[in-house]
Each structure stands twice: as C-alpha cells, then as structure tokens.
Structure 1
Amino acid sequence: MRRILGTLIAILISQIGFSQDYQSEFQKYCQTNDTVNQLKVLTKWKSERPKDAELYTSYFNYHFMKSRKEILTTSTNETKGEGLVLKDSLNQTAGFLRSEIHYNQTELEKGLNIIDKGIELYPNRLDMRFGKIYALGEISNWKSFTSEIIKTIKYSIVNNNTWTWTNNEKKEITKEEFLLDIQTYQLQIYNTEDDNLLIYMREIANEILNHYPNHIESLSNISITYILTGEFDKAISTLLRAERINPKDFIVLTNIAHGYKLKGNKEKAIEYYEKTIKYGDDSAIKFSKQQIQQLKEQ
C-alpha cells in the first residue's frame, strides 16, 4: 500500500514539475517575444497537461499579446497622450506623431475564450478574472469590463473571498482589500472622462451595495456620477445615506456640502462645511473655512 501511495505521489510531483517547466519555458520565450516557440511550448504542454490552470493563463497571454499591435500615426490635431511634435522648415508646428495600440479581434477572441474556460474550471482563480478584466479595459470594452467585474463581485460572495492565484496558491485577501481592487477599476472608468461611461461605474457600485450595504466608498462613487451629470438631488440623497452610516466621515460631509453648493443651497452647504470642520483633518478644516468664507461673501 505504501509503495502504491509512493508511486502516486511521485507521479503527481512529476506532473507538477512538467507544468512548472513548461511555464518557465513559455515565460522565457515571452521575454524575447518569440511567438513561434511560445506556441510550440503551449502545444506540447496542452498534449500532456490539457487541464493545467497555468496552461489557460499562458494561452490567454499568448493570444492577447499577439493581438496587440503598435502603429505610428500622424495628425494635424493635438490629442491627449504622449507624442512628438513635427516641425516644418520654418520651425512651425506641422503635425503630431504618436503611437496607437490596435488589437486583432480574432486573436483577442481566442484569448478571451480560453480564459473563460479557465475561469469555468478554476472559478477561485482571481488572477484569471483580473487578467480578463485588465484586457477588456485595455481594449476599452467597458460594457464587458463592467460585466466581468460584477461577475467577480457576485462570486466573491459564493466563495467568501477565498481566492487562489498563480499555480493555484492561496491568495490572502480580505474583503476590504478585494473591494479596494474593485475601487481601482471604477477609478479606471472615471479617468476616461467620458460621462457616458458613468453608468458602468454606478452599476459596479450598486452591485457592491447589494452585498455590502454599508460600503461608504460605493455610495460616494454613485454620488460622484450624479454630480458629474448635474443630478445634485440624487447625489445628495446618496451621500446622506452614507452620513447615516458614519456621521463623522468628513469626506462624505465635504461632498454633501459641495453638492448643496452646486445646487445653490448656501445655508445647507455652510452647515455641512461646519460639520467637516468638526470632524475633518487639517487640510479639510482649512478648505471648509475657505468655502464658508466664499459662500458668506456671495
């Protein structure tokens, strides 16, 4: 019996060793951008260990990186981002040169389909989920980006935030750390400066609140989406809900004051700036005093 168990353990160790060797070899070819040998490693890997979790992440990386193409473009109009200014013979600005990233949809879909299979087999692998979310953000597919984040939030309730990472190692992450990661994704949408996308930021925040109703950061995020679209009553209502959860949160209090200021309710704005002075730090106190002074001078 011990001999049989010893044999089984040896086989298991051998299989893990094969996986790690393939993984290391694949990463080596990634560093040199050798897609030919990357595919050779993946093909052999798949024939021997078709259900290896790292095979799915490696195939995903292979197709995603292969889909990515950098193209130099010229334009007479200056746009956001880094670029080179082109000058004519009179040293006048003639145009702008910059690089743009384009993605081959066929390769991209292959990668996304593979990581979907990986997530189905290994639903606790947070790196797979975050990897897919990252890719969707890179291609600015904000609808799918949001959908994948919401799926991850929902599954965090199923597995009680018991996640794994590369090589199926346990990922030590608290609920607060997980929600902070989700907050970063919402900030990514916010930083597009496209008000049409604020609805996605709101959807993510509402999903969090479905499971964590006292999550003040999500209430604040929702209020921001309403402030940016000029819906001040909705923004204030959301922030007042946050205030009921924590009456001493001076960031919430400052935002309520700002909401009332934008709405034109000077009296309520001053009231909440005074609350901020009571509970805020030095910076918040200084800012609130300035705001009160400005409001009184109007």
Structure 2
Amino acid sequence: MKKIGTGLFFIFLCTLVFTRDYSKEFMDYFKSDYRPIDYRSMEKLLIDWEKERPDDPEMLIGYFNYYVNRDLEMFPAMGKADDGKYYGAYLQKNFNNDDVIKGISFLDKALVKNPQRLDIHFGKCSTLLQARFYKEGIKAILDLLNTSVKVNNEWLWTNNVPIQEDGEAVLLDGINGYFAILFNNFEYVKDDLGNLAKKLEQLYPNNLISINQTANYYSYSGNNKKAIELLEKGHKLDKNDYIILGNLGYLYEEKKNYKAARTCYEKMLKIDNPQSKQYAKEYLEALNKKDRRTGRSKKD
C-alpha cells in the first residue's frame, strides 16, 4: 500500500503556485531569505486583492495563510512530535488559536463555492490537526469524505486545475497521513475516530487504506477479532500489500497465534519490495527470539 504524507500546512502554503500578479506578490512574502515577514504590508495586499476579486479562492487562501502564520511560534524540541512516529529533534509549533479559527473561516468561505478544491480541504484538515483541534479536524475529514461522494472524486487543485490522477486514490492517500496524529491522541478522540472509521468502511469498503486504518481503529479499541477480519479481507484484495500483512502478523502475535504471524511475515519476505523484505526479516527475528525464550517450536 502506498503511503504518502499530506504535508504540513506550510507545505500546503508552498504548493500555491499562483499565476496572477496578486498571487505572486503574496507568495514573495514567504521566500526564504531570513528576513521577517512584513505582515502589515501583506494585509494591505490582501485588502486590495479582495476589493478587486472578492470571490477569488486564492485570495481567501491568502487570508488563511496570513492569519495562521502571523503569530505562529516555532522552536526546536526533543521527543515525539504530535504524529508520534519518531523520537528525536523536531520543530515544535505553537499556534494562536484565535488566528487559526479566523484563518479556517476563510477556507470555509472558499469551500462554499469551490467544494471540489481538494487542496483547500487538505489545508483545513491538516492545520486543524496540527493546531490540536483534533475533534474539529475529524469533522473536517468527515465533511471531506461526504464531499467526495457528491463530486464523485473529481477534484481540482490550485487555480482550479483538475487533478489528473485517480481521485479516490489521491483523496485517501492524503487522509492516510492524518491518522498517526489521531491514534497518538486516541483516548481523547476515540468516539469521533470511531465515526470516521465507520464512514470510511461505509464509503470505501474495498480501499486498502480505508481497510487498514479502520482495522487500526478496531485494534486500538480492543476488538482485534474485527481488525483481523478486515485485514484478511485486505490481503485477499491485494496479496502484495506488505503493510496489511505486517499489521495482520502483529495482531496474530497479540493473539499468541504465532504460526499465523510467521506465515504473514514469510509472505512479506517473498514480496518483491526491499522495505517489505527488511520488515519481514526484523519481524521474523523478533518472533524467533520469542521462540527461544519460550522453547516453542517454530511450527507451533
């Protein structure tokens, strides 16, 4: 299963490759030349832009970036970032919550007339989660999923350029990147996350990302039986998805069904993918250590 990150809100900002003069002037403020950004001048530009093109979605995105960035504080920290993936040095971000809410209001305004703008949806979801508005972020993802049905996954990007790739794949690849943050805050959002998992299962029952993340939800909730059922379904859909196999093997280990776990890892070893083979070797080595400690036969 291909996994892609959705990118931080600043990356979202940097993808706004504008073609008109107002857009170019706005993006020039964010050029990395180590000079402080003149937000007062930026605000004047946005006011002029709004007067001339009040319904321009790129202008509304500009206001969003203006509010979200103007009081943003960033400093180095050590530990696990909000996504919980790695321990180490990372850049801690402190948002002005009032500014985030104000900025999001401009994205909401843009989406009223431009519901197919996937970049705006992603920017909204990503920013809410980074600013620790977790429940609001989940609601934004649910709104996005409902919109995907209404527009038949026919998405637009910056400057209303149609997305040429498969719309469902782009949508779910993007959403996939949000789950690490959500699972890292599971106890706080478990009910909302449950609603999200059910929505994914309802709308995209045969998508591997949907299956995997829904299975993760059931596993976190203590329902490993349901999680295994979903992952087995995913494996039938794609025998070479090593993420599905790895998660399936892990859950079988949790149930102490080491024979089934070993089967999953050995299948991973045969997949023509270097990462799959590496993970399989690590998992099998760990499983063999368990065998040596308990005196089990590898066939048990």
* Length-normalised TM-score, structure 2: 0.71
2:171 to 178, 183, 194: 178
- State whether structure 2 residue 115 is matched by structure 1 residue 123: yes
Shift of 1:155: 1.3
Moved more, 141-150 or 194-203: 194-203
Shift of 1:133: 1.3
1:106 aligned partner: 98
Distance change (3 Å), C-alpha of 1:168 and 1:210: same
Moved more, 237-246 or 37-46: 237-246
1:24 aligned partner: 24
Shift of 1:208: 2.4
Shift of 1:261: 2.5
Higher RCO structure, 1 or 2 (CA under 8 Å, sep 6+) = 2
| Larger-gyration structure (1/2) | 1
2:262 to 253, 262, 273: 273
* 5+ long unaligned stretches in structure 1: 1-18, 73-77, 83-97
User: What letter is aligned with 1:66?
Assistant: R
1:9 aligned partner: none
In the TM superposition, 1:190-229 aligns within 5 A as 190=183, 192=184, 194-197=186-189, 200-229=192-221
1:80 aligned partner: 79
Q: Distance in 2 between matches of 1:128 and 1:114?
A: 10
Q: Deviations over 1:180-219 (max 9, x none)?
A: 11111223434x3655445555543432221221123322
Q: Distance in 2 between matches of 1:35 and 1:285?
A: 51
Q: Distance in 2 between matches of 1:167 and 1:247?
A: 39
Q: Distance in 1 between matches of 2:267 and 2:102?
A: 56
In the TM superposition, 1:282-293 aligns within 5 A as 282-283=277-278, 286=281, 290=285, 291=287
Q: Distance in 2 between matches of 1:66 and 1:288?
A: 46
Q: Deviations over 1:131-190 (max 9, x none)?
A: 111210221111111111121122122212221222222222312232111111223434
- State whether structure 2 residue 290 is matched by structure 1 residue 297: no
Does the 8 A contact of 2:50 with 2:59 survive in 1?
yes
Moved more, 249-258 or 157-166: 249-258
Distance change (3 Å), C-alpha of 1:123 and 1:285: closer
- State whether structure 2 residue 54 is matched by structure 1 residue 50: yes
Shift of 1:42: 1.0
Does the 8 A contact of 1:219 with 1:238 survive in 2?
yes
Distance change (3 Å), C-alpha of 1:242 and 1:113: same
Q: Distance in 1 between matches of 2:254 and 2:122?
A: 37
2:230 to 238, 246, 260: 238
In the TM superposition, 1:160-179 aligns within 5 A as 160-174=152-166, 175-179=168-172
Distance change (3 Å), C-alpha of 1:108 and 1:255: closer
Distance change (3 Å), C-alpha of 1:168 and 1:277: same
Does the 8 A contact of 2:200 with 2:214 survive in 1?
no
Does the 8 A contact of 1:30 with 1:38 survive in 2?
no
* 5+ long unaligned stretches in structure 2: 1-18, 82-89, 272-276
Moved more, 141-150 or 172-181: 172-181
Q: Distance in 2 between matches of 1:104 and 1:271?
A: 49
* Length-normalised TM-score, structure 1: 0.72
Number of residue pairs the alignment of both structures matches: 256
Q: Distance in 2 between matches of 1:172 and 1:37?
A: 36
Moved more, 168-177 or 272-281: 272-281
Q: What is the SS of the residue equivalent to 2:79?
A: coil
Identity of aligned residues (%): 25
Distance change (3 Å), C-alpha of 1:42 and 1:213: same
User: What letter is aligned with 1:273?
Assistant: R
Shift of 1:230: 4.0
More helix by percentage: 1
In the TM superposition, 1:61-72 aligns within 5 A as 61-70=65-74
